[in-house]
Amino acid sequence: MDASTAVFTLDDLTARSARLVRRAQQLPPAGARPVTIAGRVGGWISPAALDAIAHHPGVRAEAEAAHLTAAPAARLSLDAVLADIAHTLQAAGFIRSWRNELLDVEAEGRRLARIERGAVRALGLLTYAVHLNGWSADGRLWVARRALDKSTDPGLWDTLSGGLVAAGEDLATALLRESHEEAGLEAVNLANHDPLRTVVRMHRRLPDGYQVETVSVSDCVLDAGVVPANLDGEVLEFRCVNMPELWAMLTQGAFTLEAELCVLDSLRHRLWA
């Protein structure tokens, strides 16, 4: 398939992407305060969440911001302070799903500490997500339906694989890990994948807090005979869809917001680059 046989135009893709980007750019929740980590601005916290953690060593609440630091007097490193904060947020109902996974805490371009993944949105911390669009040799796209027990967007369609970059990982390593866990792919299957490119920096108010996330995507053509197989229980099913099927799914809102932006970006690159 090429641009001359597509069921949509470049203008269609551009217009739809622009609408989605507007949906992905929201101000922090009303009353939220900036969060500094070790003196660097790095998040947002709601008044209720701040009340829940305000008594912790290493937390200082001011009218204009909340400050999180190590607490030497209590013999707590910054990592330990953040771990205590995460457990308090969970007990107070601000964490929807405890993952036992650590993410890097970044502020003003520096990695400063690590924290439980489930706590990042309650603190409005920056995260990084990587996605893979897996294409067949005949121009169809592999897509994955999210498991029905996922805490966010259950049952919606997604890219072939995608997820957050874990603590200590770079983007390329995270892409390989997620592609193996979610689609059963090996490094050899992704040997010729495109370089990761940034699609959007998302700012969204969500039930579990404020999402600040840089979303990147890569494209890969899978060899004939490669069939995705989920290994981590987070995918309900896979499909390999042609362009009319894909466009119908996109226009019907069948995908998560992040996945649709990644797919639209891929279509623009593949058909009109």
Tell me the pLDDT tens digit for each residue of 93-121.
Answer: 999 899 999 999 999 999 999 999 999 99
Q: Residue 254 and residue 172: Cα distance in Å, rounded?
A: 27
**What mean pLDDT comes out for the span 51-76?**
96
Q: What is the DSSP letter of 25?
A: B
- How many alpha carbons fall within 13 Å on the CB side of residue 140? 14
Residue ranges of domains in the chain, CATH in brackets: 3-26+126-272 (3.90.79.10), 33-119 (3.30.750.160)
Does 193 score more than 60 pLDDT? yes
Q: CA 164, 100, 254, 231 torsion: positive or negative?
A: positive
Tell me the pLDDT tens digit for each residue of 16-52.
Answer: 999 999 999 999 999 999 999 999 999 999 999 999 9
Tell me the pLDDT tens digit for each residue of 114-133.
Answer: 999 999 999 999 999 999 99
In Å, the largest CA–CA distance within the chain is 68
Q: How confident is the model at residue 273 (pLDDT cuts 50, 70, 90)?
A: low
